[in-house]
Structure 1
Amino acid sequence: MPGRSPYDIPDHVQSALTPLSKQLVVNRRGSTVWDVQTPGGRLAVKLGYPTPTHAWTALAPAREATILRQLIAQEVLFGDWQEGTWSAQPWREGEALFDLWEPGRHPTKPATPNLDQALSCAVALADLHAAGWTHGDVQPNHFVIGPAGSFLIDLGLARGGEVPEVYDFRYRGCLVHYEAPEISRSILETGTAVPTQEADVYALGASLFISATGWRHVPYPDDADRKDQRQAIVDRPHRKITVPGALGKLIEHMMSREPADRPTSAEVRQELKNVR
């Protein structure tokens, strides 16, 4: 029904994919995602639609699809539908970083984070950067860790290559819980920002930190609005890094307030290879 979600896969998309089964897996913030089994394999089918505050979410599935076509060999389909755009991409089997590290956040039985899994996340980000792209929305739920390693998903905000103008939109930040101070500052001052690989590294550090501890990188009330969250990130230092050992020291380095002081994703990858 127009204007309401979750949305079912439109008839013309189902005709193109001929699904054998489907399961709703995500329905939030302008995006409905289905896990779809087809004769050709398992797919993630995304439907984008505008929200009262964000029109760009309607374009994100098609924008991501044009990026994936430049990065992976597998077939990626996309097009328009009544409320926005849709895409169908290979399903990535695995579990999100935040969920994998949940047992280690137990208050009475904390566990040392798995360095192999941290390394797999760094490898995924470094590979993307080496290909000339910036992700722009690094967060723990976008690292899917499975038997084949980590996949860095949800590239709808990525920058680095050609994107058709009809599907493009300006970058207005990401999930604030992982936003670097310079990105938050730019959003507050101008309404937009330029995503950078340095900000991706900060976000990976914040992702490792929250996955290991359960704490956001900067404290602010749970009910604070986005503007106040960003102001807190600009005004306050990040929380004390309590992750033990070499990983904690590396996270501290990754979350340096000055972008030039942070290691590159390739350096993060190498450091984790050295200490795991």
Structure 2
Amino acid sequence: MNSLEDNIKCSVCCDILQRPIMLCTGGHNTCGTCRNNLRECPTCRAPFSTIRNIELEQMIEQIQMCNIKLPCFFASKGCKFTLGLSQKESHESECRFRKFRCEGKYFAKWKCDWSGEYKDIHKHFKDFHNNHTWMEYRTEASMKVCLERDFLDIQIISFFNGQHFFYYKHKVDVNRHKVYWTFQLVGTKDQAKNFYYEFEVHQGPIRKFKVTEICENDNTNANDTFEKEKCVVMSFAAVKNFLNEEGELPIKFRIMSVKKPTGHSK
């Protein structure tokens, strides 16, 4: 017997049905937008009808109004969350039990078709992109910065021996004459709010450029973060002013957890 969640799932996108809900001649439900892209039902290969399932639309609306909790789509893989329909989609898009793809392909356009589970992400980088694993959650280095061409870099950072993982993402944008850095927790947005980073560019003991910012999560588009400049941003002119004698940019950063308040003092 099908569960409630099975009954309100689209047979095409496997997500909660969105109105208008359309029926195929075999009785399977499909989101209207999904139905528009198909010639026949993917479940039974029957043709689609022009009948709209008004009763099911009303039932889903009632579920939303009553805030009935449903299990995460990845419950069978171990996720314990139960959520209302309004939170379900956003949670599943960042759930730790979702399928991950190589972040280097997504952000830096690497030719890598890997996909896998959360527990295998760091191992994947170690096995196939080992030169992108050298950073630690406290790092000091002098980095080469070429301001003559666009550039993207990503590193994976283990936080306290794999308790968490973070992505360091770096971009040189020649068109805008700007350089960007940001750090993203591999996890949910709520978890990411518990961490922040301090990033410093320096030249000697006195001249410093320093930014402190709350971490984003890996489901956040880094280019949107760069666009909003909710990150470390330096103009090309500022970068040139901090280059050392070897023409490299001295940087240091650390990722830290936000300290929770312990209570009000009397």
Q: TM-score, normalised by structure 1?
A: 0.27
Q: TM-score, normalised by structure 2?
A: 0.27
Q: RCO (CA 8 Å, sep 6+): is it higher in 1 or 2?
A: 1
- Report the structure, 1 or 2, having the larger helix content: 1
- Report the structure, 1 or 2, having the larger strand content: 2
- Larger-Rg structure: 2
